[in-house]
Every structure is written in structure tokens, then in C-alpha cells.
């Protein structure tokens, strides 16, 4: 059964101390209802993606069912930084299985409610906590720095190459009114910022973020019944799982779970595995750190192994290049509220495919397909989803 995104909502990302958790979530939910032209009574099932460990509220589905007057079943989903895409998968499969016709998926996080050291420790638990965090003091910048240094050693990438990713994503984030950082930066600014975990500097790292995003999913039957014209179909989704302990990994220059998820998604969508970028109009990839975006280019087969760095050097992931990537600013500039990120990517796919993105960051839509790549931990979970103007 085909499943469509029929409405979306997205809050401003950043330090949202102006609202509490239900107020923040409702901002996105209300926009999604209005966008889809539905009411609470039309929703059959409600899925919430949230890690919530740093927030005052844990029972967010129940809280929001009460706050938003949703008298339906609900479910909370958590898959580290891939939580939002995992929530979308739950909503998608609920409709595909015939259990529901209309599902609301919400991703929400209020990370700024906890002090930074607490947030850093909690994120450290998204790996093999007692082995890596307790024994060796690894935090997430350090986790991904291991991948960055391995990539540098094998493929001669440089700190400047990573900085180019930050420059690109801030360039597009400056054009996104919902982004946490709406200011362009220069290569010199990025390179002169202080080190966080070598080779990563300040501008190589995504921020701690509050934010919410929501999508309304509907079955093909409901789309026909309601005569919905503006919609985007979920064409396929692939899911992969990596080892908890990084010492069990075969390589640090790829996230095996992401490559596996991409292969599944491409096969289900009937997309050419050799040059998938030729059948896509753009992508959102999980750039929690700048090196992660370059590695994603290769895991997603936008470039051959070792050649992903050439895409950013030659500006091939800007509009007009081989494949535009992270035109909303990505996690790096838009922000990374853990549970909301995957849903935010879905919102961006919807906006791009329907040519609703803001001026200066709207891709040219030729193929009618957009990819999202959402990673939990350092490849502990990976979701690759392909959205399309046409259903299978």
C-alpha cells in the first residue's frame, strides 16, 4: 500500500527557551495539520520520536495527546540520532500494514534544558558506553574524529576539505529561516576556530539544539478520497544496524550500516546502484560532523570510495553540481535536535520536491526524487529513505 506525506510542520531550531516541550511540539503539529488540511479527529495513530533524556518531559506521546486533544493510540520511538526516521518508519508501516489510514509523526527535543556536560555524557551513551565512554572518555566529537582521521590517512583529505562542508552548509543555512545558524562563514573562519577533537574544530561540529518537526502520513486510499493534490510519496526505505563497539568495525572510512541501508532503499525504489545521483534531485545527509557528510557521499554511492572529498572540493554538492546536498543547512547549520532531525529531513524532502523551499536554496526538480540519510550514533542505526512525486 502506497504511503504519502500530505502535510508538514517545522519550528525554528535553536535555543528555544521561549517555550516548553508541549508548546514547541504543538508549533510543528499545528503547521502539519494546517498543511494537510486535517484535524485531530482525522488521525488514527500518533508516533513521537524523542530521546528526551535531557528534557523535563519523558512521556511526550501522552503529554501531547492530552495537550493536542488526540484521542488515539500512540508510541514513543528512540534510535539515537536516527530517532526521527525510525518514527517515520513506524508510521509508514502502520499504514502499509492496514492498521491505520492517517498517522501523525512528531519529532521533538529540548536539549537546552540540560547543561552541556550532561548532554555530552548522555550522547556518549549512544555508543558502547562502558567500554568506550567510561574506559576511554570518548565523546561524540571523538567518535567521529576517529573516522575523520582514518579517512584523512587513507584518502589524503585535509582539515580544509572538512571546513568546505561547513562553509557550504552555513551558506544554505543562512537562507533557511528555521535554521539555528543563519549566517554564512568563510573558509578562514572555519579553519581558525578552536579545536574540539582533532581534526574537528568548532565549525566542524553540529550544535546542541531545541526543535520540533512533524509530518502527516496518509494511505493511497485517503489521498484519493480527500482529493489531495500536494503530496510526496515514500518510495522506499532501507535500514541498517552497526556494531555497538567500534573496535568490532571492519573499517572507519565507511559506515557499513548506512551503505547497507542505501543498497536496500535503491533496490526497492528501482534506482541504478552504479550512479544513483542521476535519478535523484538532491539529498539530506547526516552531517553531525563535516567528515560524516563526505563519508556519506561514498556510502550513498554519489562518488566512488576515496572520491567523495572531490565532490566538496569541486562544489559538486551545491545547487547546479552533481547532486545538491543539505540545502537546508544540514545538521551543521540548521541544528540537530536528536529526535526531530529525521522528521526535519522529511519536511525538507517534501518542500524541495514540491518547489516550496526558500529562494536561493531550492533545487531544480527533474527526477522528482529526494533522498534522506539519517544515522544514529556512529552508524549504530542507519535509515535511508527515498521520497518521490510519483508512487511505485
State residue 130's pLDDT score.
74
Catalytic machinery residues: 81, 336
In the chain, where the domains are located: 3-114+208-226
**Residue 298 to residue 155: CA distance in whole angstroms:** 12
Give this prediction's pTM. 0.97
For domain 3-114+208-226, give the CATH number.
Answer: 3.40.47.10
State residue 210's pLDDT score.
97
Distances from the Cα of 94 to the Cαs of 34, 69, 306, in angstroms?
A: 22, 21, 39
* Strand-by-strand arrangement of the 102-110 sheet: 73-77, 45-49, 102-110, 210-219, 3-10, 232-241, 381-388, 369-376, 282-284
* Measured distance between the N- and C-terminal CA atoms of the chain, rounded to whole angstroms: 10
Which tens digits make up the pLDDT trace of 305-357?
999 999 999 999 999 999 999 999 999 999 999 999 999 999 999 999 999 99
Residue 40 pLDDT > 90 = yes
Q: What is the average per-residue pLDDT within 133-149?
A: 85
Which tens digits make up the pLDDT trace of 23-39?
999 999 999 999 999 99
**Residue 329 to residue 334: CA distance in whole angstroms:** 5
Amino acid at each position: 500500500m502506497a504511503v504519502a506525506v500530505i502535510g508538514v510542520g517545522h519550528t525554528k531550531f535553536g535555543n528555544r527557551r521561549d517555550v516548553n516541550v508541549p508548546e514547541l511540539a504543538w508549533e510543528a503539529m499545528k503547521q502539519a495539520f494546517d498543511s494537510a488540511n486535517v484535524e485531530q479527529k482525522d488521525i488514527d495513530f500518533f508516533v513521537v520520536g524523542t530521546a528526551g533524556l535531557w528534557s523535563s518531559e519523558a512521556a511526550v506521546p501522552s503529554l501531547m495527546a492530552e495537550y493536542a486533544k488526540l484521542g488515539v493510540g500512540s508510541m514513543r520511538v528512540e534510535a539515537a540520532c536516527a530517532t526521527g526516521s525510525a518514527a517515520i518508519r513506524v508510521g509508514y508501516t502502520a499504514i502499509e500494514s492496514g492498521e491505520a489510514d492517517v498517522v501523525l509523526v512528531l519529532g521533538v527535543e529540548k536539549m537546552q534544558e540540560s547543561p552541556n556536560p550532561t548532554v555530552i555524557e548522555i550522547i556518549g551513551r549512544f555508543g558502547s558506553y562502558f567500554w568506550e565512554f567510561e574506559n576511554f572518555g570518548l565523546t561524540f566529537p571523538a567518535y567521529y574524529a576517529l573516522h575523520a582521521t582514518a579517512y584523512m590517512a587513507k584518502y589524503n583529505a585535509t582539515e580544509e576539505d572538512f571546513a568546505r562542508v561547513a562553509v557550504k552548509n552555513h551558506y544554505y543555512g543562512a537562507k533557511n529561516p528555521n535554521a539555528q545558524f543563519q549566517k554564512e562563514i568563510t573558509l578562514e573562519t572555519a579553519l581558525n576556530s578552536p579545536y574540539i577533537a582533532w581534526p574537528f574544530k568548532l565549525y566542524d561540529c553540529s550544535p546542541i539544539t531545541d526543535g520540533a518537526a512533524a509530518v502527516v502520513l496518509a494511505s493511497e486510499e485517503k489521498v484519493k478520497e480527500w482529493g489531495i493534490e500536494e503530496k510526496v510519496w515514500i518510495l522506499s526505505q532501507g535500514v541498517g544496524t552497526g556494531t555497538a563497539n567500534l573496535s568490532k568495525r571492519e573499517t572507519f572510512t565507511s559506515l557499513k550500516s548506512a551503505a547497507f541501508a542505501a543498497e536496500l532503499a535503491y533496490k526497492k525504489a528501482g534506482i541504478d546502484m552504479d550512479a544513483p545521483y542521476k535519478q535523484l534531485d538532491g539529498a539530506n545527509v547526516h552531517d553531525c560532523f563535516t567528515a560524516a557528510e563526505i563519508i556519506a557521499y561514498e556510502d550513498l554511492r554519489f562518488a566512488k570510495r576515496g572520491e567523495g572529498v572531490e565532490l566538496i572540493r569541486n562544489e559538486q554538492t551545491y545547487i547546479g553540481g552533481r547532486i545538491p546536498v543539505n540545502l537546508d543547512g544540514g545538521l551543521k547549520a540548521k541544528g540537530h535536535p536528536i529526535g526531530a532531525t529525521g522528521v526535519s529531513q522529511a519536511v525538507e524532502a517534501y518542500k524541495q520536491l514540491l518547489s516550496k523551499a526558500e529562494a536561493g536554496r531550492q533545487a531544480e526538480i527533474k527526477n522528482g526524487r529526494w533522498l534522506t540519510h539519517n544515522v544514529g550514533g556512529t552508524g549504530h542505526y542507519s535509515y535511508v529513505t527515498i521520497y518521490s512525486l510519483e508512487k511505485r
